[in-house]
Chain A
């Protein structure tokens, strides 16, 4: 498998502080690879090292087969980057910004078409300081695409976007992937990683805690799909007599893993025989969010994670 990025034993030290503590991973061509982690976990530092903006303290790394620090010029020609909290010159319009990047990269760029692609065509002639937070982010994405990059780094591209704009950006990322581009996505929205990423690495305190596809991680660390029965006290008494079920009772909820087929059938038959009804029944499965909480820490409101 071709690796667009390969990292082995990467360490970044600031004095005595180890921001990145010996991480290794590789990003296959044409996939969406997502870095997930709380603030200060070392995500941005790692990404900036991959982009050639910072120099690694130790470790081997290749981006498109190049050393991103030494061969920064060549790397920058071939990758697109939207930095975290993207900012541009206040008095420059998106149209001018795209044309400017086109001249710097020596490419013919259809600026209006590119702005249309990121849903910014209506603001093409407004100066940057007049754009909303979401529109600024979109310009950041547009500029990352000017040089038709093989590899795109997006550092928290949807932070501050409203749900609708966020979905639109997701759609764009799916299109970019279809075009064969590799996407390195840093995010602290778990839903985003689950929706978009082929591979997720959860990073915490400068180390990769675990890595895999969202489904693999859920299967590995989650509790698997299950039926959850809301029960009345009478119903609980009935259910407690079902063999193999007693240990699954939690308050007035009874959880039955789907793979325990016989237990499930026995339980439903017992309920039918008693003539009682359940107030509520649902199926549940763990999301990346639950996995993340288990592995890293507590959740913050709005789906953001804090260490």
Chain B
């Protein structure tokens, strides 16, 4: 490419008579192009939002579809299923104490549970349960029988806690286990029940979470994935095909301004979707969610990640059709495996590692840590992972994405 050394060698064209039909250049219009001019970003944002709002199909998938899913999943999981004997794993660390054996017998006698013995040498029961993809268990600690004997015979003893593991995703079986333990304890009149039945579930919870509480973070993750991903795959490949990027590159709009406007739009839609999902869950099913400030970074970094990923797919695909197929190949497995609909923790053990390769898993896990468990440390770790992934995807997308051809 030859570049003349002196750009000002040619005189510019003479001034034109101003045309009454259309405008004159605004005074003080910047001669230099700044990288990001807010007025350009805003103009593009307004135009894109307006056009999007006129597309009923897109609106349905972005805002209404997740709501339908909440209502649907809520209805499925809140239905009362007939109680059957729940498998209960009992680890007895108290040996052959008569009182302990009696308690053991009483639990079994309730008929609510099927007892499986776990030997004391099997290690911590929590580990054992998760290794065997089971969730309900009791640890009978050493000295349990003796303490109960003392308490029921007017003596004073150190309070002993039964460690009860249950499944926070399955409130029905948790209730059955709890019921069986309570019933068994009634046989030891005078024993202070409060001492004995102390549930120790997955995290330290101030309430017993219901399935719907886990569905909401999953579906917010779904919204964070779907709209940015599909809209950007579609936009980048279609704009390329229809030469819209070419048309836009002939205006002062820059690539950065255009991209920022799309990110802003996806943020707006994600916040809307999240608000609607929380509201639906709370109003329709009394979901218990903690709307902490730590949700905000997830709602910002998540869409950024999928905007970038969508743009990357749309840009590298030669044809719009190919882009659509690749988009689906990435999106659908990610959607199902990352826990959008079914929490990863209730998936079969062998499948769980595959969940953790998808960026969406960390988004959902993080939102869950905030809105269900209030577990800041866990959420921050997830946020860090999502941020790194988003940064990598964003940089890659910006580098690959071309406004003009060489």
Residues of A near any B CB (own CB < 8 A): 2-4, 6, 29, 48, 51-60, 62, 64-67, 69-74, 76-77, 81, 83, 85-92, 96, 100-110, 113-114, 116-117, 127, 143, 145-148, 150-151, 179-182
Contact = CB atoms under 8 A, between A and B. Distances in A.
Interface string B223-242: 00000000000000000001
B51 A90 contact: yes
Contacts of A71: 7
Contacts of B25: 105-107, 147-148
Contact of A65 (B3, B10, B42, B244): B10
Given A65-B11, A180-B14, 11 more contacts: A66-B7, A71-B7, A76-B252, A103-B40, A104-B251, A106-B26, A107-B29, A108-B26, A116-B21, A117-B22, A182-B13
29 contacts: A6-B10, A48-B246, A52-B404, A53-B405, A55-B405, A60-B4, A65-B7, A65-B9, A67-B3, A67-B7, A70-B3, A76-B250, A85-B243, A89-B51, A89-B244, A101-B251, A103-B39, A103-B40, A103-B42, A106-B25, A106-B30, A106-B252, A107-B25, A117-B22, A146-B23, A148-B22, A148-B24, A179-B17, A180-B14
B132 interface: no
B8 to A, nearest CB: 7
Contact of B13 (A2, A100, A101): A2
A72 B250 CA distance: 8
B122 to A, nearest CB: 62
A76 B16 contact: no
B283 interface: no
B375 to A, nearest CB: 43
A83 B55 contact: no
Nearest to A114: B22
B250 A87 contact: no
A180 B251 CA distance: 22
Interface in B250-279: 250-253
A300 to B, nearest CB: 24
B250 A81 contact: yes
A92 B242 CA distance: 15
A77 B252 contact: yes
Question: What 9 pairs across the A-B complex have the smallest Cβ distances?
Answer: A65-B10, A103-B43, A91-B51, A91-B54, A106-B29, A108-B23, A87-B242, A109-B23, A104-B251
A60 B14 contact: no
B12 interface: yes
A55 B404 CA distance: 9
Interface string B369-389: 000000000000000000000
Interface in B32-47: 33, 39-40, 42-44, 47
A62 B16 contact: no
A179 B20 CA distance: 10
Interface residues of B, number: 51
B2 interface: yes
Contact of A181 (B16, B31, B404): B16
Contacts of A70: 3, 7
B47 A56 contact: no
Nearest to A10: B2
A52 B50 CA distance: 30
A70 B2 CA distance: 11
A179 B16 contact: yes
Contacts of A51: 250
A62 B30 CA distance: 23
Contacts of A181: 16
Contacts of B14: 2, 29, 180
B249 interface: yes
Of A54, A81, A88, A100, the most chain B CB neighbours within 10 A belong to: A100
B393 to A, nearest CB: 25
A148 B21 CA distance: 10
Nearest to B235: A89
B22 A109 contact: yes
A108 B51 CA distance: 23
Contacts of A148: 16, 18-19, 22-25
B10 A62 contact: yes
Contacts of B244: 87-89
Contact of B406 (A6, A54, A113): A54
Contacts of A96: 47, 50
Given A64-B13, A65-B8, A103-B39, A113 B22 contact: yes
Nearest to A81: B250
Contact of B247 (A3, A65, A69, A83): A83
A87 B405 contact: no
Of A72, A89, A109, the most chain B CB neighbours within 10 A belong to: A89
A77 B26 CA distance: 12
A73 B33 contact: yes
Nearest to B40: A104
A146 B39 CA distance: 17
Contacts of A62: 4, 10
A304 B13 CA distance: 34
A56 B1 contact: yes
Nearest to A85: B243
Contact of A146 (B4, B22, B51, B406): B22
A115 B229 CA distance: 36
A76 B22 contact: no
Contacts of A147: 25
A109 B18 CA distance: 13
A86 B247 contact: yes
Interface string B47-70: 110111011000000000000000
Nearest to A62: B10
Contacts of B26: 106-108
A4 B13 CA distance: 6
Given A62-B10, A85-B243, A106-B30, A179 B19 contact: yes
A127 B51 CA distance: 9
B23 A102 contact: yes
Nearest to A3: B10
B406 A105 contact: no
B319 to A, nearest CB: 16
